[in-house]
Copies of this chain bind each other. A is one copy, B any other.
Amino acid sequence: MARAPDTLNKRATVKDVARVAGVSAGTVSNALSGKRRVDSQTQARITAAIEQLGYVPNLAARGMRTGRAGTIAIFSSMPIAVAGGQSRLGFLMEIAASAAESAMQNNLALLLIPPIADPATALGTIGFDGAILVEPSADDPYRALLAARGVPTVLIGPAAGMSDPSVTLDYRQMATLLFDHLVELGARRIPLVIGQSARASNLAFREVYRERCATLGLTPEIIALPEADGEIGAERAIDAHIANGGAPDGILVPIDAMATGVMSALRTRGLSVPGAVKVATRYDGLRARSETPPLTALNLHLDEVADLATRLLVERIEAGSDTSDVKAPDPELLARGSTLAG
């Protein structure tokens, strides 16, 4: 069987296929896309010709005609290397990996867009049909740009008053789930170790924490730390806190890097987990899982979240119309060794 000489000659076009199959170019196009009926006999001749010539459609040409790029983009506005480091990478990439998969199921490919110095000009060189923004801040530089350009956009994050449709993550629910779990297991003095920035997640956790404490008659102890200080910062802070006021019987520490630090502090102080102190964190990443004992955390169903976001985006792209928000699946408590005696 003669192979088409791929490298030397130019790639076969739809016209070549048409000639070989003895039909017109339009018919080949219809056969390929299935947009119109084509006789099964001609269909067969066309597929034969395609096979014979090793025809591969030119996607740029198709894209020009249809106005579709065949890609969607996922943006990480936060510098991966800096903020959160590898934990954040984990969170983001777990989403990206799943989004890539569901995009592919919609015949789309996923573009990974890193944070860049000059978003505006860079966006001019990249074509995509829609965008997913992960936990954008209120003043996210990309959001404005995308909106101005009329690119369909879907957010993953809190249901703040942003205009774009989003897969909403319910931080309040997460906070409640974790806090109540600690309380149910008997903890009564439960400091909250949390980031001090105004990110939605931090705010929600503080809010719920205060409310629940008030309801249950517990004394709130909020230890707010710069996120950038991460592990070490949390270790020192909780250590100092214990030195001052004695040991708690539970600690709620949503950010996993801080949780690692807290665990270290407890270890060096000889406070057993979960015997003396029960610890819970939010994101069930590598950190939480490889602690000793492994940390109680939440299954956020990020794969489903990514899938939902992708589907929402596809819908929005195809319908053109606005679509409503979608709630992320309920987070699920993963009670592990850091709260349950084993």
Contacts and interface: CB of A to CB of B under 8 A. Distances in A.
Interface of A: 6-7, 56-61, 63-64, 67, 69-71, 73, 80-81, 86-87, 89-90, 93-94, 96-97, 100-101, 104, 107, 109-114, 116, 122, 124-127, 148-150, 231, 260, 264, 267, 285-287, 289-292, 303
A227 to B, nearest CB: 17
A59 to B, nearest CB: 4
A285 to B, nearest CB: 7
A169 to B, nearest CB: 20
A110 B109 contact: no
Given A64-B64, A110-B112, A6 B148 contact: yes
A290 B89 contact: no
Contacts of A80: 97
A73 B86 CA distance: 22
B127 A100 contact: no
B89 A127 contact: no
Nearest to A148: B6
A126 B292 contact: no
A109 B111 contact: yes
A114 B101 contact: yes
Closest 5 interchain pairs by CB? A60-B63, A59-B127, A93-B93, A60-B64, A100-B114
B149 A111 contact: no
A264 B286 contact: no
A199 B89 CA distance: 26
B70 A127 contact: yes
Given A64-B58, A127-B59, A292-B292, A89 B100 contact: no
Contact of A109 (B104, B107, B126): B126
B64 A69 contact: no
Given A290-B260, A290-B291, A292-B264, A100 B125 contact: no
Contact of A60 (B60, B100, B291): B60
A295 to B, nearest CB: 11
A148 B122 CA distance: 32
A89 B95 CA distance: 11
Contacts of A110: 111-112
Contact of A89 (B70, B93, B113, B148): B93
Contacts of A89: 90, 93-94, 97
